[in-house]
Amino acid sequence: MKKDNNPFESIKIYHNILTEDERIILLNDSKPLLQKFQSFPGLQTQATLHLESQNNFKIIKKVANKCGINAPVDKSWVIYLDKEIASESWHSHSESFSEYSLCYMIDNPEGFGTWFRFKDKVYKPECPTNSAIIFSSRLEHTAPANVKKSRYSLAIDFENNKINIQYQ
């Protein structure tokens, strides 16, 4: 990723990540694991989704590989939002060991991507269902607060010292 004065330029979006069957399996397997955590937006799974089943592991690994990332997964979790629980929750993953984060849109009918903030600028890219966005874990971001329909996304952080991104 580029490191310059505009961190938004280093954000990369990939499309058509999973087959429809894989996407639905990930969605259905994640729904029963969602719960409310204190000070986190919406509903989320534990950050160990990739360890829950061999099926989840394979699908999460495929998402990373389709985005050119060949590194072990450090954390992965699903986030659910709708118009009743969506709110801005600006944060970064600077406390993690991951240099890059990925957000895959499992079901995102409105196409709102992750929002990013740097200084006084906010970037709100589109990221429809079955697409993914890669960004610096240290870049301040939030799930979109303007969703009206149910939105499911998968967040992944990678082991920092083993990351290898191959842009496609």
Instruction: Give the pLDDT confidence of 83-122 residue by residue, as tens digits.
Output: 886 665 665 666 555 678 899 999 999 999 988 888 889 9
Q: Is 111 left (phi over 0), alpha (psi -120 to 50) or beta?
A: left
Half-sphere exposure at residue 140, Cβ-oriented, CA atoms within 13 angstroms = 11
Between 24 and 53, name the one with better pLDDT: 24
Nearest Cα residue to 99 out of 7, 6, 5: 7
Buried b / exposed e over 5-41, threshold 16 CB at 10 Å, is: eebeeebbbbeebbeeebbebbeebbeebbeeeeeeb
Tell me the chain's radius of gyration from C-alpha atoms: 15
Q: What is the mean pLDDT of the chain?
A: 85
Please report the pLDDT score of residue 142 as a whole number.
83
The model's pLDDT over 129-140, given as tens digits with 9 standing for 90+, comes to: 999 998 887 787
Sheet holding 115-118, edge to edge: 121-123, 115-118, 140-142
Please report the pLDDT score of residue 41 as a whole number.
72
Report the percentage of the chain scoring pLDDT > 70.
83
Q: Is a pLDDT exceeding 70 seen at residue 77?
A: yes
Count CB neighbours of 117 within 10 A: 18
Please report the pLDDT score of residue 167 as a whole number.
42
Question: Global pTM?
Answer: 0.87
Read off the pLDDT of each residue in 67-94 and give the average, rounded to a whole number. Answer: 80
Please report the pLDDT score of residue 3 as a whole number.
47
3-class secondary-structure state, position 112 = strand
Q: Is a pLDDT exceeding 60 seen at residue 161?
A: no
> For residue 84, what are the contacts with CB-CB under 8 A and spacing of at least 6?
none
Q: Is a pLDDT exceeding 70 seen at residue 158?
A: yes
Nearest Cα residue to 154 out of 130, 136, 135, 119: 130
Q: Is a pLDDT exceeding 70 seen at residue 160?
A: no
Q: Are 155 and 77 in contact (CB under 8 A)?
A: yes
Please report the pLDDT score of residue 30 as a whole number.
95
